[in-house]
Amino acid sequence: MAARRVRDVALYLVFIAVIMVLPLFVEDYALNQVARFLVYGILGVAIALSWGYAGILNLGQGLFFGLGAYMMAMSLKLASNTSLQQGSDKPVPDFMLWNAEPGAKTDLCCISKASFLWIPFQSQWFGLAMAIVVPVAIAALAGSIMFRNRISGVFVSIMTLAMVLLVRLLIIDAQPVTNGFNGLTDLGFFKIGDFVLDNYGLPLYYIVAAVLALTLLLTRLLVETRAGLILQATREDANRCLYLGFDVPMYQTFFFCVSAAIAGVAGLLYANVAQFASPTFMDLSFSISMVVWAAVGGRNSLLGACLGAILIHLLEDAMSKTPALVESWKAIIGLVFVLSVLFMPKGIAGLASDFGDFLARRLPRPRRTGLTADPPQVARESKS
């Protein structure tokens, strides 16, 4: 077991080192692309936590990602130059002008019915905070209702699916406040003091990479705590856990919220990297493709899901360069997905782990005397 942990730590460190060193080899557009992939990687970690560790198949993860992106984008929109050119000395988003109530003052307080909701977003740090607080709040509410009522399995999935579709509908409908279908575009940059985070620049890339590294490490530490172990026990058999006296709904809700927070962070980073937020973030197909990334990479492995997300996007990017393959990309990903669910249920990480075990067994081991026995080889279903 110790060997396995050492191996995992080593893999994490190698991965982190790679993403930190990458800017030496790529720049500008390609760096921005990699930053986007890293954000998807963070999403992969969120899914692995929720699905692999907690056993909650969240088909609406796009909800938390999208909300995080929107909260951040609202602040960034108010910071953009065009918002200051709308005929008022306070920033007003341009789309509000053409959705304005007739005769309304050009000010956030009153230009349309709910535009006052934008006022606190003039502070970027407020937007950043909301990007985490709002998804967590919704997850806490939804989670406590779902898990206290002992809803499980496919019903949780259907509920999360209904939730993401509902919020997507509401956002598109609230055009005066959210710009509806077009989403929030033409954003400014995040400013730390005088320092501007250009989305093609190095500082933003390093922030994304650092956040991904921290997310991986902290989540990994989290699942190794007592709470994390209990969570994995609930995934295996929730009833048994209940009978053993654990407050299963509380653990499930807590980790559901952590997963939502991670997705929210991914969303706010994405708004910075891609410079827009759109209701398409809450499309059903996007939410389900997140699950695909985790399935291919390894749902039980945080690093695996992260790598799965990055790998699939790298593949997609490579294939979009050839015209014939562009058309068949979706078919290929469908095939990959079916094959991986059928034959590789633990994903690439599972394959790698099995291969690693296979190698480890082949390596010569130092002979032990009878004094310290080898730890019993318990068949572990899940990889930490």
Partner 1 sequence: MSVNRRSFLKTTAGGVAAVAGAPLFSRTALAADTIDVGVLFSLTGGLSIIEKSLSDATLMAIAEINASGGVMGKQIHAISEDGASDPKTYNEKASKLVIQDKLATVFGSYTSASRKAVLPVFEKRNAMYFYPTYYEGYECSRNVVYTGAVPNQQLSNFIPWIIKTLGKKTFFIVGSNYIYPREMAKVCKILIEKNGAKWVADEYLELGDSEWGSMVNKIKNSGADVVLSNVVGDSVVAFYREFKNQGFTHDKLPICATVTSEIEIAAMGAEYAAGSYTSFPYFQAIDTPENKSFIERYRTYVKDPHAVTHHALCSAYFQVFLWKQAVEKAKATTADAIREGVRGQEFLSPGGAVKIEPENLHTWLTPRIAQWQPDGQGKIVDAYPAPIFPLPYSAYGETESNLFCTPKGVDPSKLKG
Partner 2 sequence: MAEVFFIGLSVGSILLLVALGLAITYGAMGVINMAHGEMVMVGAYTTVMARIYLKLGLLASIPLAFIVTALLGLLIERVIVRRLYRRLLDTLLATWGVALLIQQAVRLEFGLSLIGIHIPGLGAGLQNVQVPEWLVGSTHVFGVEINAYRGFIILVTIAMTFVTWLIMYKSPIGMQVRAIMRNPKMAAACGINVERVNALTFAYGSGLAGIAGVMMSGFKTVFPDMGTPMVVDGFLVVVVGGLGSLFGTVAAAGLLGQLNGVTASLANDSLARAAVFAAVIVVIVLRPKGLFSYKGR
Choose, by CB under 8 A, the member of 15, 205, 251, 281 that binds partner 1: 281
Span from 25-33, 253-261, 323-331, 369-377 in contact with partner 2 (CB under 8 A)? 323-331
- Are 251 and 230 a contacting pair, CB within 8 Å? yes
Identity of the residue, 239 or 320, whose beta carbon is nearer to partner 1 in the bound complex: 320
CA contacts within 13 A on the Cβ side of 166: 6
Q: Where are the alpha helices (DSSP H) in the chain?
A: 2-21, 28-47, 61-78, 94-98, 124-148, 154-173, 175-178, 202-224, 226-236, 238-243, 248-274, 284-297, 302-319, 323-343, 347-362
d(CA 309, CA 194): 34
Q: Which residues of 226-257 are buried (b: 16+ CB within 10 A; e: fewer)?
A: eebebbbbbbeebeebeeeebebbebbbbbbb
Identity of the residue, 214 or 339, whose beta carbon is nearer to partner 2 in the bound complex: 339
Q: Which of residues 18-57 bind partner 1 (CB under 8 A)?
A: 28-30, 32-33, 36
Can you tell me whether residue 146 is helix, strand or coil?
Answer: helix
Choose, by CB under 8 A, the member of 9, 13, 141, 170 that binds partner 2: 170
Choose, by CB under 8 A, the member of 2, 24, 331, 373 that binds partner 2: 331
Identity of the residue, 225 or 280, whose beta carbon is nearer to partner 1 in the bound complex: 280
Can you tell me whether residue 197 is helix, strand or coil?
Answer: strand
Can you tell me whether residue 184 is helix, strand or coil?
Answer: strand
Q: How far is the CB of 284 from partner 2 (least distance, A)?
A: 7
Q: Which residues pair with 195 in a beta bridge?
A: 192
Choose, by CB under 8 A, the member of 104, 333, 344, 351 that binds partner 2: 333
Q: Is 246 in the site for partner 1 (CB under 8 A)?
A: no
Q: Is 83 in the site for partner 1 (CB under 8 A)?
A: no
**Which amino acid is residue 274, in one-letter code?**
A
Which of partner 2, partner 1, none does residue 223 bind (CB under 5 to 8 Å by kind)?
Answer: none
Q: Which of residues 39-68 bind partner 2 (CB under 8 A)?
A: 57
Contact residues toward partner 1 (CB under 8 A) are 28-30, 32-33, 36, 85-87, 97-98, 106, 169, 172-173, 175, 179-183, 185-187, 200, 274-276, 278, 280-281, 320, 323, 326-327, 329-330
Contact residues toward partner 2 (CB under 8 A) are 57, 145-146, 149-151, 153-155, 157-159, 161-163, 165-166, 169-170, 172-173, 284-285, 288, 291-292, 295, 324, 327-328, 330-331, 333-338, 341-342, 345
